[in-house]
Amino acid sequence: MLKGKFVVIGVTGGIAAHRALDLTSTLVKAGAEVHVIMTRGAREFVGPLAFEALSGNRVHVDTFSAPPGWRYPHLELARRADIALVVPATANIMAKMAYGMADDLLTTSILAMTCPIVVCPAMNVYMYRNDIVQENIKRLRKLGFILMEPGVGRQACGDEGPGRLAAVEDIVNMIKKVLMPECDLAGSRVLVTAGGTREPIDPVRYISNRSSGKMGYALAEAAVNRGAVVHLVTAPTCLEPPDGAKIYYVNTAIEMFREVMNLYREVDVVVKAAAVSDYRPKTVSDQKIKKSDSGLVLELEKNTDILYELGKQKTHQILVGFAAETEDLIKNARQKLAKKNLDFLVANDVTQPGAGFGTDTNIAKLIFPGGRIESLPMMDKLELADRIWDEVVKLRHGKTK
């Protein structure tokens, strides 16, 4: 599967640098062409000669030192790479990558790359848990880097916990997943919304709903795996964003409307899985509303119906909506499908066990114009996401014939 793939491995200055030797050997045996970039810190742990012996290629260590026939190493590596990895990724290199620093060959090459970049953190458990490191990891994910989860266990320093380099086998599997997905969405630009919006009452209270965001995040992850360029507009959740998606964080329905409409013209497919508040408080208090003996009356005003507006302005896009109902599922879903000019709708009865908010599973019916209904059994949300994308792919192929 990896035969002929041009793989760039950036090795940085951590104790796990020696494990990049095993990774290099494994990739070469699988038929990949491996080129290694070593930082100055990495060379304190492992010599370049070891990587050269395993890869069969000269190790790159200097921005201004080019192999024969190469004019600019950082540009040549960036142009030829099918995938790049940072193994191990120290806290230092991740901070540089998160903020676009380019002070050596590795960081300069990364800035010039358009290929997928897999980042494999490895460091002391307390460094890994540091708030600054975690913020940089979130930033890298938001920028589209693919972050491997570190291993958990005893570390070289004697501490225990997350921070060990991921197993070589897991890294290789991630490479295969990135390079060899079911790419039937390749070339598609998709927009997914997720989570439940929050409408503020005062600085400490808000109106929201029970949406966990799991369905929307599963849709985004599945689309990335199938080769799409994914824009995920998400209300607050407790979930880690899927690697490879571009993330846009919002809180209120108004913020989500603005973000979605800014992206709408650029995308081919919209799957509107977010639970958007229909109403918001007409007046928001600047200060916390104090409890009193009398009741509290909130006057609400209607939010813009984002899905309706998308349907009105639809040109080339495929538009998919969700309907979470508690009664008259089919009737309500068909009305929503027609009113909002959808290509199809995913409907579920949230009173059913296994189909409600916050679960890892769902029980859905796909409702199509013309009356067709496809009832699906209970399944994992990622599996349902793929089933939804299967229908999108059919529609995409129909429009391009």
Surface-to-core class of residue 367, CB atoms within 10 Å of its CB (0-12 exposed, 13-18 middle, 19+ buried): buried
The helix/strand count (H/E) of the chain reads as 13, 21
d(CA 309, CA 262): 13
Q: Which of 284, 240, 295, 234 is nearest to 260 (CA)?
A: 234
Q: Which helix (H) or strand (E) holds 394?
A: helix 381-400
Q: Which of 255, 272, 267 is nearest to 211 (CA)?
A: 272
Q: In this structure, are strands 229-234 and 189-194 parallel, antiparallel, or unpaired?
A: parallel
> Position 80: which residue type?
R
- Which residues are catalytic, by number? 157
d(CA 376, CA 358): 19
CA angle, 94 then 95 then 100, to 5°: 95
Phi, psi of 127, deg, nearest 5: -65, -45
